[in-house]
């Protein structure tokens, strides 16, 4: 049996689907499972033993190519579709909640097309699970609903990432060069994340000066802070460093996603905004203190919830502002303002 799973979205979304992949492989041990994702998330799937093949589709690249040459773009799309068609998939599981992917699956002749029917976008699916958006349970539970529909049992639904030996070695060497000793504990701090929200990203990011103060207060003789972020967040990371009293280890812009996972795995704790990287930390085995603004942690938070993960949130009666894929018209950051440095430091100390 050949199975294709489609999820063209971000790091968190892809990690949320790994329990589904694991259960599929357990139920169909002789199956071949392929995954359709974007370029950014491909590295966190490449070492997953439950996945046999990865198809990469980068929407922005195709849009750029379309502007340059429509003929070349169409040829590239056709080439990708041909590669998928060659696999002769028996089942496709579409987690995109969009209509175009199921349409292509229909064109390619995949006979069994299972997925979510959101706002009648599931018209090309052969088997539909109707949803009104994610708002009453965790995204992972929605993924597990697909398994339940198929009559497949799952485990506790924990997300997972598989860290290659080369990335573990890289992380050890990186920390050694940074002067981190074997008897020192690491606390990871991620002031960025949430870039998929575009100009609304500030609603998902706690303040850089508060991250800096929390990091300073948690620094101790045998405890070092390591600052994380991607290349686009260098300015943000520098703003945190500039007001810190203690010099952190700086990993901003210096890691691939697999290397980031390897560093997370070495952290005693990671403090982060609501972001895909937070979920990578969870999947890597780190304890976390996460800061949630307008987003409901019951839907998008660390999973499964438990004593290793503490979520900081405002408790405002108007919360959550983001519901069923839609952000309200709220123009304030009250839900982030209410989360104090004391709150975060106290939570961190509980986990250390």
Domain count, the chain: 2
Residue linked to tokens 């093949």: 53
298 is a domain residue: yes
d(CA 29, CA 105): 24
249 membership: H or E segment, kind and range: strand 249-250
Whether 122 and 145 have beta carbons less than 8 Å apart is answered as no
Q: Maximum distance among all alpha carbons in the chain? A: 62
Coil vs helix vs strand at 67:
helix
How many other β-carbons are positioned within 10 Å of the β-carbon of residue 36?
23
Domain that holds residue 233: 165-351
8 is a domain residue: yes
134 is a domain residue: yes
* Same domain as 259, residue 291: yes
207 is a domain residue: yes
158 is a domain residue: no
Q: Give the CATH number for residue 77.
A: 3.40.50.2000
Whether 21 and 49 have beta carbons less than 8 Å apart is answered as no
Phi and psi torsions of 326, nearest 5°: -130, 135
Give me the tens of pLDDT residue by residue for the chain, a chain 352 residues long.
999 999 999 999 999 999 999 999 999 999 999 999 999 999 999 899 999 999 998 877 777 767 878 888 888 888 889 999 999 999 999 999 988 999 999 999 999 999 999 888 888 999 999 998 898 899 999 999 999 999 999 998 999 999 999 999 999 999 999 999 999 999 999 999 876 666 667 778 999 999 999 999 999 999 999 999 999 999 999 999 999 999 999 999 999 999 999 999 999 999 999 999 999 999 999 999 999 988 899 999 999 999 999 999 987 777 777 777 776 677 777 889 999 999 999 999 999 9
Core vs surface per residue 191-224: b (16+ CB within 10 A) or e: bbbbeebeeeeebbbbbbebbbbbbbbbbeeeeb
* Same domain as 106, residue 183: no
343 half-sphere exposure, CB direction, 13 A CA radius: 17
* Same domain as 64, residue 100: yes
Tokens representing residue 255 in the block: 């890691």
160 is a domain residue: no
Integer-rounded Cα radius of gyration of the chain: 21
Q: Are β-strands 91-94 and 2-6 bridged in parallel, bridged antiparallel, or unpaired? A: parallel
* Same domain as 136, residue 179: no
């Amino acid at each position: 049996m050949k199975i294709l799973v489609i999820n063209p979205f971000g790091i968190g979304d892809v990690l949320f689907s790994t329990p589904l992949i694991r259960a599929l492989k357990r139920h169909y041990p002789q199956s071949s499972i392929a995954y359709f994702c974007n370029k950014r998330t491909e590295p966190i799937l490449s070492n997953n033993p439950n996945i046999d093949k990865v198809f990469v589709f980068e929407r922005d690249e195709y849009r750029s190519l379309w502007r340059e040459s429509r003929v070349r773009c169409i040829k590239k799309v056709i080439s990708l579709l041909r590669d998928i068609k060659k696999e002769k998939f028996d089942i496709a599981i579409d987690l995109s909640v969009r209509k175009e992917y199921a349409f292509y699956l229909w064109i390619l002749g995949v006979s069994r097309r299972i997925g979510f029917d959101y706002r009648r976008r599931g018209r090309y699916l052969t088997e539909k699970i109707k949803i009104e958006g994610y708002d009453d349970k965790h995204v992972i539970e929605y993924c597990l609903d697909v398994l339940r529909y198929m009559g497949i049992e799952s485990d506790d639904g924990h997300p997972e990432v598989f860290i290659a030996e080369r990335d573990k070695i890289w992380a050890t060497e990186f920390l050694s060069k940074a002067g981190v000793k074997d008897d020192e504990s690491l606390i990871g701090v991620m002031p960025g994340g949430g870039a998929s929200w575009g100009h609304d990203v500030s609603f998902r990011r706690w303040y850089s000066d508060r991250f800096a103060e929390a990091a300073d207060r948690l620094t101790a003789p045998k405890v070092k802070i390591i600052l994380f972020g991607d290349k686009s967040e260098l300015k943000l990371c520098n703003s945190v460093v500039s007001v810190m009293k203690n010099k952190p280890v700086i990993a901003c812009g210096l890691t691939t996603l697999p290397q980031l996972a390897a560093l997370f795995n070495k952290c005693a704790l990671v403090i982060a905004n609501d972001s895909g990287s937070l979920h990578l930390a969870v999947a890597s085995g780190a304890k976390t203190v996460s800061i949630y603004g307008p987003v409901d942690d019951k839907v998008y938070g660390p999973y499964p919830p438990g004593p290793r993960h503490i979520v900081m949130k405002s408790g405002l009666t108007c919360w959550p502002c983001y519901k069923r894929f839609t952000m309200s018209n709220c123009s304030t950051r009250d839900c982030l303002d209410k989360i104090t440095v004391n709150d975060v430091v106290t939570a961190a100390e509980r986990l250390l």
